[in-house]
Amino acid sequence: MSKLRIFFSTDIHGSERCFIKFLNAAKFYRASVLIMGGDITGKVIVPIIQQGTNSFSAYFLSEKYNLDGLRKVEELEERIRMVGFYPYRTNPSEWEEISANQQKFDALFTQLEIESIRKWVKLAEERLKSEGVKVYICPGNDDRIEVDEVLNESTYIVNPDGKAVDVNGYPMIGIGNSNITPWNCPRDVSEDVMADKIDKLTSEISNTRDAIFCVHIPPHGSGLDVAPQLDSNLKPVLGAGGKPIMISVGSTAVLKAIQKHQPLLGLHGHIHESRGVVRIGRTLCFNPGSEYSEGILRGVLLDVEKGKVRDYLLTSG
Ligand SMILES: [Fe+2]
């Protein structure tokens, strides 16, 4: 089996700065395979409202902007995209209409997500296709289903979600789902559905010990899945000394599948604050964590050779 250097990152939540760093990682780390593990789209729209012929206003990160001229607008739009929000140029009456209508708001969100991912796919093609770098982008539980269409359109990017794909001789299964979260995200599924999905995909692989499990949600109780316990109002439950009580929120189905199949690698994300690496039997499982809102790309660099992980490095930059 071939020698392989993989760069894995995840949960960049719309941050264009992080996506550009992800693409640059191929050259910077001399990686021939890039894998993005899900939650790639943003969560916030920032309206830039036209107030006069050439004047606009916007609220961004608690600051009010009065912008004269399109150049100023374009500069702010770029800053908005860099942190993972979606700028949207509009006028007062249109924005009032959208804000008052959940359906219209959702449709706009989907449109902006699609436009952003289409731009990213194009960027990846322009920068890496001719370099012979393979790019795998898996959606996560936060990403709307419509995003798949854009990823699947590309003849270059591979969307591994719900598939068993080949990564330079290593089989990889992709699952962008999470178990059920308090936020009822588009790709939350029950543990039973998760188990069925993993069963289906592993049945397509002849030797799962050589496999990479690119599964958004980490295995339960692994330490890669520790998050604050939330009450019914989604507020952290506080314990002794007023500190949030931390609990394991990972997937039991993923844990069982890793214990059973003992794949080469588990590549996970989803819980931004649970950065780390653990061994479950012979399987090395990673969660590089996420600091996308600061424009910091967290990742893991992996050297794989002859069916073994030769070396790894958690990265941040
Ligand atoms: Fe997630």
In the numeric block, which tokens belong to residue 70? Answer: 């399109």
| C-alpha of residue 273 to centroid of ligand 1, in Å | 12
Residue 265, pLDDT score: 98
Q: Is the pLDDT of residue 302 over 70?
A: yes
Query: CB neighbours of 54 closer than 8 A, spacing ≥ 6?
Result: 68, 69, 70
pLDDT tens digits, residue range 201-241? 999 999 999 999 999 999 999 999 999 999 999 999 999 89
Q: How far apart are CA 68 and CA 76, in angstroms?
A: 11
| C-alpha of residue 142 to centroid of ligand 1, in Å | 6
- Percent of the chain residues past pLDDT 70, beyond the cut: 99
Tell me the average pLDDT across 148-155: 95
| C-alpha of residue 175 to centroid of ligand 1, in Å | 11
| C-alpha of residue 194 to centroid of ligand 1, in Å | 14
| C-alpha of residue 15 to centroid of ligand 1, in Å | 15
| C-alpha of residue 251 to centroid of ligand 1, in Å | 12
pLDDT tens digits, residue range 121-143? 999 999 999 999 999 999 999 99
pLDDT tens digits, residue range 77-88? 999 999 999 999
Q: What is the DSSP letter of 181?
A: -
| C-alpha of residue 179 to centroid of ligand 1, in Å | 10
List the alpha helices (DSSP H) in the chain. 16-29, 70-82, 92-99, 102-128, 146-153, 191-202, 252-261
| C-alpha of residue 74 to centroid of ligand 1, in Å | 30
Phi–psi pair at 284, nearest 5 degrees: -90, 120
Compute the C-alpha angle 263/12/281, nearest 5°.
Answer: 20
Q: Is the pLDDT of residue 255 over 90?
A: yes
Residue 133, pLDDT score: 97
| C-alpha of residue 65 to centroid of ligand 1, in Å | 32
Distance linking the first and last C-alpha atoms of the chain: 31
| C-alpha of residue 10 to centroid of ligand 1, in Å | 9
Residue 175, pLDDT score: 98
Residue 1, pLDDT score: 61
Residue 3, pLDDT score: 86
What is the reported pTM? Answer: 0.95
Residue 107, pLDDT score: 96
pLDDT tens digits, residue range 278-289? 999 999 999 999
| C-alpha of residue 70 to centroid of ligand 1, in Å | 35
| C-alpha of residue 141 to centroid of ligand 1, in Å | 5
- Average confidence score pLDDT of the chain: 96
Q: Report which of 1, 19, 4, 31 is spatially closest to residue 297, judged by C-alpha positions.
A: 19
Q: Is the pLDDT of residue 63 over 80?
A: yes
